[in-house]
Amino acid sequence: MAKTKGLTSQQEDFSAWYNEIVYKADLADLSPVRGSMVIKPYGYALWEHIQRSLDDMFKATGHDNLYFPMLIPISFFEREAEHVEGFSPELAVVTHAGGKELEEPLAIRPTSETIIGEMYSKWVQSYRDLPLLYNQWCNVMRWEMRTRPFLRTTEFLWQEGHTAHATAEEAMAETTQMVNVYADFAENFAAIPVIKGEKTEGERFAGALVTYTIEAMMRDSKALQSGTSHYMGTNFSKAFDISFNDVNNEQAYAFTTSWGLSTRMIGAIIMAHGDDKGLIMPPKIAPHQVVIVPIYRKDDQLAKDQVMAAVDELAGQLRDQAVRVKVDSRGGMSPGWKFNEWEQKGVPLRLELGPKDLEAGEVVIANRLKENKETVKLAEASSVVVSALKQFHDDLYERARVFRDERSFVVDDYESFKEKVAQGWVHINHCGKPACEEAIQEETKATPRCIPFVGPETDGPCVRCAEASAYPRKVIFAKAY
Ligand SMILES: [Zn+2]
């Protein structure tokens, strides 16, 4: 595979490759405010498709959207002890407004459990008011010291679901349902295979009793946490007094959950699929699924007219099949230049149509993943494209799955662990103690990603400290973003 000019290869320096492709593919630009980013139209179109697909899934599972304000009284954060400890270092706080110092400073939301808890306490009186199944799409702010576009920025876009239930069982079922929704989205829309599992105590969300996660492997074999779903028990309902009269007319606290997926998913798509030529977009959420590049000599107006008429007809047929198609009719650029640009931007299929193709009644289809070209009859082109896009999704998913499985290991001793965790993900017997996890991180840079729902069973003591293992299944450790 020829690499794109001026793009560092993944092998050479994966991190440089990532930073370069974000800007070269025109997904984002640097913002004048350090640590934040401007999402450009191509990146935002990808986010819109992520949003639409997920939002449909939220609605299908009974949730409604609403919107809370971005400013939260600072005192709200002090009501839940673990939550304030977890988020205080990252809070950005408004102290002045309207030319005056505010009586109470206002935090810019890093997440909205607190303000939502305050409102839910007003909305919930009786068991008949439950469950509350709400989600909001918004921006949040977390003051990060080291930032990278899409992966870690001070301001980012996400959705946060917040639900309240009458029973613990219902709230746990919701927590599980939403991690399943995230996995469904990652695999069936983003073509990224994920491991579903539970976070160990040291990695849980601040204030949660249970945190579920989906973990995806990037092409440098590091893990990226791509969506999380939290069960809060009654921690937040006690802190914010979300209480109600239950069926026996006794006072009870609601059980709450929250779940979120952010623009980090764009980082996951870039790093799970991209190669030395640039991005590879998963077809179901790609801004353009197909690009058509018309080919003609600029001094041959007749050929141009004939080619453009055929291109427009083909584009119309594809749109009728609900294919998102872009016709690149820009003047002053060679077809080769356009091919490179769309390869770098990762458009799954490129159609090339010139006078000779037209004469033969054919069109050339170039596949970004297989890096091959095939010639098909114009009359069959739209049905070939529709099935090629389906196949593209399956091939992309399978490539990522094989890549991950080849770099996943099960080991029984700490020496092998150190060797293998430099190459990928490692399943080990683990004590679950935060101190042991910190030592592992210090010694290997790896962190516990999750206790997978499905995976090898524990069969001995912790491989590092020899204390009893804490979980029925081995814990996955990996270097992570
Ligand atoms: Zn241990």
In the chain, the domains with their CATH numbers are: 14-273 (3.30.930.10), 290-388 (3.40.50.800), 408-478 (3.30.110.30)
- Give the model's pLDDT for residue 356: 95
Q: Tell the burial category of 457 from Cβ atoms under 10 Å away from its Cβ (0-12, 13-18, 19+).
A: exposed
Give me ligand 1 centre to Cα 466, in Å.
Answer: 6
Q: What is the pLDDT of residue 5?
A: 66
Tens-place pLDDT, residues 93-138: 999 999 999 999 999 999 999 999 999 999 999 999 999 999 999 9
- From its phi and psi, is residue 130 left (phi > 0), alpha (psi between -120 and 50) or beta? beta
pLDDT at 4: 56
Helix (H, G, I), strand (E, B) or coil at 455: coil
- Which tokens sit at 432? 């679950």
The alpha carbon of 83 and the centre of ligand 1 are apart by a number of angstroms equal to 26
Closest CA to 396 of 239, 236, 284: 284
Question: CA 463 to CA 435: how far, in whole Å?
Answer: 14
How many CB atoms lie under 10 A from the CB of residue 36?
A: 17
Ligand 1 centre to CA of 467 (Å) is: 6
Residue 67: count other Cβ atoms within 10 Å of its Cβ.
10
Token pair for 314: 């083909």
Measure 157 CA to ligand 1 centroid, in angstroms: 36
Query: Which protein residues have their CB within 5 A of the ion that is ligand 1?
Result: 431, 436, 462, 464-465
Rounded to the nearest angstrom, the distance between the alpha carbon of 441 and the centre of ligand 1 is 12
What letter does residue 285 receive in the DSSP assignment? G
Whether 37 contacts 30, CB under 8 Å: yes
d(CA 204, CA 475): 14
pLDDT in the model for residue 104: 95
pLDDT below 70 — which residues of the chain? 1-5, 83
Res 460: pLDDT: 96
3-state secondary structure of 67: coil
Phi then psi for 117, rounded to 5 degrees?
Answer: -60, -45
Here the tokens at position 192 are 């990224």
CA distance 352 to 291: 9
Pairing status of strand 425-428 against strand 408-410: parallel
217 CA → ligand 1 middle, Å: 24
Distance 421 CA to ligand 1 centre (A): 16
pLDDT in tens, 204-242: 988 899 999 999 999 999 999 999 999 999 999 999 999
CA dihedral 44, 49, 55, 56 (to 10 degrees): 160
Residue whose pair of structure tokens reads 């020496």 in the numeric block: 415
Amino acid, single-letter form, for residue 184? D
Residue 71's CB is within 10 A of a number of other CB atoms, namely: 16
pLDDT reported for residue 1: 46
- Tell me the longest C-alpha to C-alpha distance in the chain: 85
Question: From the CA of 85, how far away is ligand 1's center (Å)?
Answer: 25
Separation of 412 CA from ligand 1 center, angstroms?
Answer: 13
